[in-house]
């Protein structure tokens, strides 16, 4: 079955460390890619998205993600994390007709930043 994979379910980092969260998908055609974040006690919200153009996308709070088509990947990065980045991060893919124009979600990565 076609899917979205987030390989790290839990990540623990110290403040100022660099972050990279992996996201891979298995759809072969055109894809639109999203990262959503859920901070403790808050609604799930969009962090960034890619649908065309520059494969390096910048989002809120210093996050960025790079679309590498040949690797079917859309990894999320941040050069220096802060305690306030503690949250759960979800990758999602809309593969157009291949996903019935709906979002297919990864299982999420829980990120804990130690102060």
Q: How far is the CB of 20 from other proteins (least distance, A)?
A: 19
**Piece of the chain touching other proteins by CB under 8 A; list 14-22, 37-45, 55-63, 77-85:** 37-45
Q: Does 12 bind other proteins (CB under 8 A)?
A: no
Sign of the Cα torsion 104, 48, 112, 75 reads positive
Q: How far is the CB of 41 from other proteins (least distance, A)?
A: 9
Contact 76, 108 (CB under 8 A): no
Q: Which is nearer to other proteins, 4 or 19 (CB)?
A: 4
Contact 75, 21 (CB under 8 A): yes
């Amino acid at each position: 079955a076609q899917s979205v994979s987030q390989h790290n379910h839990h990540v623990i980092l110290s403040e100022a460390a660099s972050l990279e969260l992996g996201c891979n998908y298995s759809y072969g055609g055109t894809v639109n890619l999203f990262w959503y974040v859920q901070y403790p006690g808050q609604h799930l919200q969009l962090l960034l998205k890619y649908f065309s153009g520059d494969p390096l996308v910048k989002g809120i709070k210093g996050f960025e993600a790079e679309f590498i088509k040949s690797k079917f990947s859309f990894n999320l990065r941040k050069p220096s994390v802060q305690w306030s980045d503690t949250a759960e991060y979800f990758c999602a893919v809309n593969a157009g007709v291949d996903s019935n124009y709906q979002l297919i979600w990864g299982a999420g990565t829980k990120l804990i930043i130690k102060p």
